[in-house]
Amino acid sequence: MAATALTVAALFGVAQACAPGAAGAAALVTVDGFKDRAGQLRIAVYRALEAEFLASGRYVERLDTPMTAAGPMTVCAPVPEPGDYVVVALHDRDANGRLGPFRDGAGFSRNPKLGLGKPKIDAVRVRLDAVTPIAITLNYLQGFRPAPVRAPHTP
């Protein structure tokens, strides 16, 4: 009988909170779709409450991680208690700690299609009762709306 194990190339954040058998709730966030490898990756977790969602300083966990050379990045973000949350990924390309809408990439739990404003909370809400894998694809402003980076066309 084969054992099932989560294998990632590198785990950032609070790795012990996502280790097998860990008690408590956490988001195990895998981010892909990077435009380049400049700057840092920021993962922020908010309670799924309209008054707290993307409000300055209202996150329950925020982790800044140096960019890796290639591939998706996985970050473990523990939360204080089981519940409904919103997970945000920011590719902070100039590492200034703020979203630069014309430069940086962003993505949310459940990967909603993004417009120019923040998404509706119901479109990004996730339940974190244990270690919960979440995949986020980054979006960058392309023309008049944010979208994932397209893979280069090869003939």
Find all residues with CB under 8 Å of 8, minimum gap 6, and list them: 30, 74
Task: Please check the confidence at residue 150 and state whether its pLDDT lies above 90.
Answer: no
The residue length of the chain stands at 155
Q: How high is the pLDDT of residue 1?
A: 38
Lowest mean pLDDT among 129-133, 135-139, 150-154: 150-154
Whether 150 is covered by a domain: the verdict is: no
> Token pair for residue 7?
């294998």
Whether 154 is covered by a domain: the verdict is: no
Whether 54 is covered by a domain: the verdict is: yes
Task: Please check the confidence at residue 3 and state whether its pLDDT lies above 50.
Answer: no
Neighbour count for residue 19 (Cβ, 10 Å): 13
Which residue range(s) make up the domain with 102? 11-143
Count of structural domains within the chain: 1
Task: Please check the confidence at residue 4 and state whether its pLDDT lies above 70.
Answer: no
Whether 115 is covered by a domain: the verdict is: yes
Q: Apex CA 134: angle with CA 43 and CA 72, to 5°?
A: 70
Whether 149 is covered by a domain: the verdict is: no
Q: How high is the pLDDT of residue 116?
A: 84
Whether 135 is covered by a domain: the verdict is: yes
Whether 116 is covered by a domain: the verdict is: yes
120 vs 142, which has greater pLDDT? Answer: 120
For 155, the 3-state DSSP assignment is coil
Question: Across all residues in the chain, what is the average pLDDT?
Answer: 90
Lowest mean pLDDT among 10-19, 35-44, 46-55: 10-19
List the CATH number of the domain containing 88.
Answer: 2.60.40
Q: How high is the pLDDT of residue 155?
A: 52
Whether 24 is covered by a domain: the verdict is: yes
80-106 tens-digit pLDDT: 999 999 999 999 999 999 999 889 999
Global pTM reads 0.89
Supply the DSSP symbol for 149: P
**Nearest CA-CA partner of 30 in 129, 119, 140, 111:** 111
Q: Identify whether the C-beta of residue 60 lies closer than 8 Å to the C-beta of residue 47.
A: yes
Task: Please check the confidence at residue 144 and state whether its pLDDT lies above 90.
Answer: no
